[in-house]
Amino acid sequence: MKVPLLDLKAQYKTLKNELDEALIRTAESQYFILGPEVEKLEKSMCEYLDCKYAIGVSSGTDALLIALMAIDIKPGDEIIVPTYSFFATAGVVSRMNAIPIFVDSNPVTYNIDVKSIENKITSKTKAIIPVHLYGQSAEMDEITALAKKHNLKVIEDGAQAIGVQYKDGRKVGNHGDIGCFSFFPSKNLGCFGDGGLVITNNDELGAKLRIMRVHGGKPKYYHKIIGGNFRLDAIQAAVLNVKLPHLDSWSEKRRKNAGLYTKLFMESGVAGKEGITEFSSKEKVLLPGAIYKDSGFKNYHIYNQYVIRVQNRDDVRKHLTEKEVSTEIYYPVPFHKQECFASLKSRFENTSFVNSERASNETIALPIYPELRDEQIEFVVETIIQFISFIK
């Protein structure tokens, strides 16, 4: 049975008329840069995310970059990031000539291990970038408490987590100084190309981000600060304006799919309960742990990815590929092992990254997109179980 990792055409089909109309409307207006569609999106996002300022930008990566520019990161500043994330989280730090300081991940959530942050803080540390990986909030109470104690800024990388509620009910992106989001097509809310968003509840940062998005000029051609071209295209905003009202129902379907995966794996008898992190003779599949499930809030996890851990991961993946099930490895190489960061090695020689290294060797992301059918999920689980029973 063919099970793609993602099927964007299935989603497009359900909204084709409205989306096509939005594209044509933009073409007919010939209004391509910022303008009314972007303003409408920003207003809707302020409501949806319950934040004071939302500013559309050119991508999730640029959202992180403009955030670091807005908090005045200087060359040589140290910024704490999880070693296990998408490259942009650390890449933007180096692009500011600042130094990413890598921290191991939590074995249950794969988010930054909050217990390992404090002994990485030095007099040069200026910020922490927690990532809400796979669609689940990082431990923001602990992170913001540390930031307050050491006078650090917090930039949230919510690229995979738009609409996720932390255990206090507030949506992620609101807990730090600036929240960053991506509308890359594979995220829960994707546009027809690149797009992103920064949010803040701070008046000064809100005003600054807005000016920095257009090269830092206000009025136009008069520059007190230096920004860049970080603009969101009107055409992307038009697409997002059509899609945003459906985001929660898509995330709900992802949660339902995740629930089915978990149920089937549990019934198979070879999976550990959610949150178990050690393999045993019985527990051969480790399931994702949703630590805020009992918060009482619906959007405790939006499952941008459903990630399990298996031993012999590469063999399992090869077998799934042979059976036409597409999977992905997020992420095979943690930052501390990336060639481009080799010059930073002396800074983390004595740091343990055991959880991140295990994750990079053992995790596999299964198809989880909203339009996935139950039979497809059943097939994926059966295929994995069969193979795992065979290799034991």
Ligand X SMILES: *Cc1c(COP(=O)(O)O)cnc(C)c1O
**Residues 246, 257: Cα–Cα separation, whole Å:** 17
Cβ proximity to ligand X, 165 vs 304, nearer residue: 304
Nearer to ligand X, 156 or 357 (CB): 156
Distance in Å, CB of 362 to ligand X, minimum: 19
* Distance from C-alpha of 105 to C-alpha of 98, rounded to nearest angstrom: 21
- Cβ proximity to ligand X: between 335 and 353 the closer is 335
Beta carbon of residue 304, minimum distance to ligand X (angstroms, whole number): 7
Q: Which is nearer to ligand X, 191 or 234 (CB)?
A: 191
Q: Applying CB under 6 A, does 356 fall inside the site for ligand X? A: no
Closest CA to 332 of 284, 364, 368: 364
* CB nearer ligand X, residue 133 or residue 147: 133
Q: How far is the CB of 85 from ligand X (least distance, A)?
A: 5
| Options 153-161, 211-219, 254-262, 381-389: segment touching ligand X (CB under 6 A) | 153-161
* Residue nearer to ligand X on the CB measure, 238 or 384: 238
Is position 89 an interface residue for ligand X (rule: CB under 6 A)? yes
Taking the complex as a whole, the smallest distance from the CB of residue 131 to ligand X amounts, in Å, to 5
Neighbours of 375 (CB within 10 A): 10
Shortest reach from residue 183's CB to ligand X, in Å: 7
Does 363 engage in binding with ligand X (CB under 6 A)? no
* Residue 88 is a binding residue for ligand X (CB under 6 A): yes
List the one residue out of 19, 12, 1 whose CA is nearest residue 371: 12
Applying CB under 6 A, the span of 57-65, 282-290, 307-315, 332-340 interacting with ligand X comes to 57-65
Interface residue with ligand X, options 7, 104, 194, 233 (CB under 6 A): 194
Site residues (CB under 6 A) for ligand X, limited to 58-87: 59-61, 85-86
Q: Does 196 bind ligand X (CB under 6 A)?
A: yes
Closest approach of Cβ 42 to ligand X, in Å? 17
Nearest residue (beta carbon) to ligand X? 60
CB of 105 to ligand X, least distance (A): 12
The nearer residue to ligand X, 231 or 319, going by C-beta atoms, is 231
CA separation for the pair 137, 302 (Å, rounded): 10
CB of 187 to ligand X, least distance (A): 6
> Is 126 or 132 the residue whose CB approaches ligand X more closely?
132
| Residues in touch with ligand X (CB under 6 A) | 59-61, 85-86, 88-89, 131, 157, 159-160, 182, 184, 194, 196
